[in-house]
Amino acid sequence: MGEEGYRRITKLTRDTIILEELMVQNGRRVRKVKLVKLNRYRNSWHNIHLKGPNRYSEFIYEIISEGRRSSRLIFTGLLLVYSAKPIAQRNLRELADRERVNDSRAWRRLASAMAKELHDNHTISKPRRTGKLR
């Protein structure tokens, strides 16, 4: 998706995984470990950062269908930022803006990669009968 790093997924249960990420952000290596809970009935997932710069931050994502060929992503997040000194309101606003830009860029990359994969793997074939229906 145009980013440097790696991901490792460890499946805990049918709907729960540990996601380990090592990536380069602003020239620095960042390691994150997340507990991810999938909800296939709601097309959603929830993750909590267990390790990394934003430990205990929580994010909820839900995909809402808007017809046959479109959907939208509902995102709710609690980003925890640790600092030894109080953070000025202006700096918090800049941090939030930067996070929004980076997250949006990552989602656009993911959407492009998914669209390419669907296009590359999409084949149109006529339905065929495989036997009698009972």
- Write down the domain spans for the chain: 1-82, 85-120
Which residues, other chains included, contact 38 with Cβ-Cβ below 8 Å and sequence gap of 6+?
15, 16, 17, 44, 45
Amino acid at 119: H
Chain-centroid distance, C-alpha 36: 10
Q: What is the pLDDT of residues 10-64, one digit of tens each?
A: 999 999 999 999 988 778 899 999 999 999 999 999 999 999 999 999 999 999 9
pTM score, whole prediction: 0.71
**23 with 7: CB under 8 angstroms?**
no
**82 with 95: CB under 8 angstroms?**
no
